[in-house]
Structure 1
């Protein structure tokens, strides 16, 4: 299982590859100009920001449980409590 610090050091292409090979898709939301897909990888959640205009993954970041986007997720699923 990879730790966040190790994952964060990968290139964007390596992150994408690992996420799609080993991650579990949880759900997707629309957020401004993005489709944001939520994935579980090991013991942490990641948000994948996809720019539809350019058909491009722009960034992959850890889920910030304090961000206002959480309301979009919590309306549809119950995320487990803990160190994610």
Structure 2
């Protein structure tokens, strides 16, 4: 696909203005699926980890731009799903 890239927006107004145009020529290969968390989190897990492991998890989560608790939950979900 050789369509347009989505620019980075500095304000919500810029994003809204972008969405008001014809977007049929966008390069959709630039998008990644984003899992939405619809199920409520009713159970809680507390665990002790070595500081080095926790810091490594936090670093990986930061690289992905998500909170480290969400990253840990994603790792667990992926393992259970066999991915």
Q: What's the TM-score bracket when you normalise by the shorter of the two chains?
A: under 0.3
Structure of higher CA gyration radius: 2
When normalised by structure 2's length, the TM-score is 0.27
